[in-house]
Structure 1
Amino acid sequence: MSSSDTVHFRHNQAFLAAAIVAFFGALPVAGARWYLLPVLLVPLTVAIWAWRAGTDADADELRLRALFGQRRIGWDRVAELAVDPRGRAVALLDDGQRAVLPAVRGTDLPRLVSATGQTLPGAAG
């Protein structure tokens, strides 16, 4: 499966921009005393999360990416795709577990399903 067949969902890149601004804003604080140096880890962690976290979907599986690590879920394990009360997309698995799909909103479900090569019932097209 080529990467062009994979649909990528990522968080808004404004998080990354804010983390970079916060990093440079924290430099004077961290430079004032040696024990304040770990303050720089907070914006650095947010920047890495904003760059990395999200959901990738192709015809074979979902890949949920977090700050550290990832979780792969085959489409054969997904019993249902749903939207939670906060508007986030959730995969309900065949064993009863729920997996929140990072960076996927309920309005993104048609695009997510299209990665499988299938269409939603009642979808135009």
Structure 2
Amino acid sequence: MSKPATVRFRHNQALLAAAIIAFIGALPLANARAYLVPVLLVPLAVGIWAWRAGTDVDARELRVRALVGQRRIPWERVVELATDPRGRAVARLDDGQQVVLPAVRGDDLPRLVSATGQALPDASAQ
């Protein structure tokens, strides 16, 4: 059985570049005093988050990825896909919970729905 096609939504990679620049910029500070070495952890964490965090979508499930860990949500649990007032995509689940989909904007919802294999309703038919 072939693996279903997965659509990946990720944050802008400029965040990763900024984290690398911040890490390099923090090196002289960390070398100045030993107790300042943990300052390097901040740009490192931001860089890992920018590289890893996002939403993966296929015909079976949503996978919401964070800095540490991930959450798999089968499509059977999703009642509605909508946007919040800030323009972020939100999945409303059958238990009333709302899950913000990282790196997915409201404008990305048609692409997200098409990754499920479902067709969007035709707006002109209504």
Large movers: runs of 4+ above 2 Å: none
Q: In 2, distance between residues paired with 1:21 and 1:123?
A: 45
- Checking the alignment, whether the CA contact within 8 Å between 1:78 and 1:94 is kept in structure 2 is yes
Q: In 2, distance between residues paired with 1:65 and 1:123?
A: 32
Count of aligned positions: 123
Equivalent residue runs for 1:1-125 within 5 Å? 1-2=2-3, 5-122=5-122
Q: In 2, distance between residues paired with 1:123 and 1:29?
A: 56
Q: In 1, distance between residues paired with 2:110 and 2:27?
A: 43
How much has 1:83 moved relative to structure 2? 0.4
Q: In 2, distance between residues paired with 1:22 and 1:88?
A: 27
Identity of aligned residues (%): 76
- Checking the alignment, whether the CA contact within 8 Å between 1:110 and 1:119 is kept in structure 2 is no
SS at match of 1:19: helix
Q: In 1, distance between residues paired with 2:105 and 2:40?
A: 31
Q: 1:27 to 1:13 in 2, by over 3 A?
A: same
How much has 1:119 moved relative to structure 2? 1.6
How much has 1:2 moved relative to structure 2? 2.6
Q: In 2, distance between residues paired with 1:93 and 1:100?
A: 11
Q: What is the root-mean-square deviation of aligned Cα atoms in Å?
A: 1.2
The TM-score, its normalising length taken from structure 2, stands at 0.94
Q: In 2, distance between residues paired with 1:110 and 1:47?
A: 29
Q: In 2, distance between residues paired with 1:120 and 1:98?
A: 22
Q: In 2, distance between residues paired with 1:105 and 1:54?
A: 11
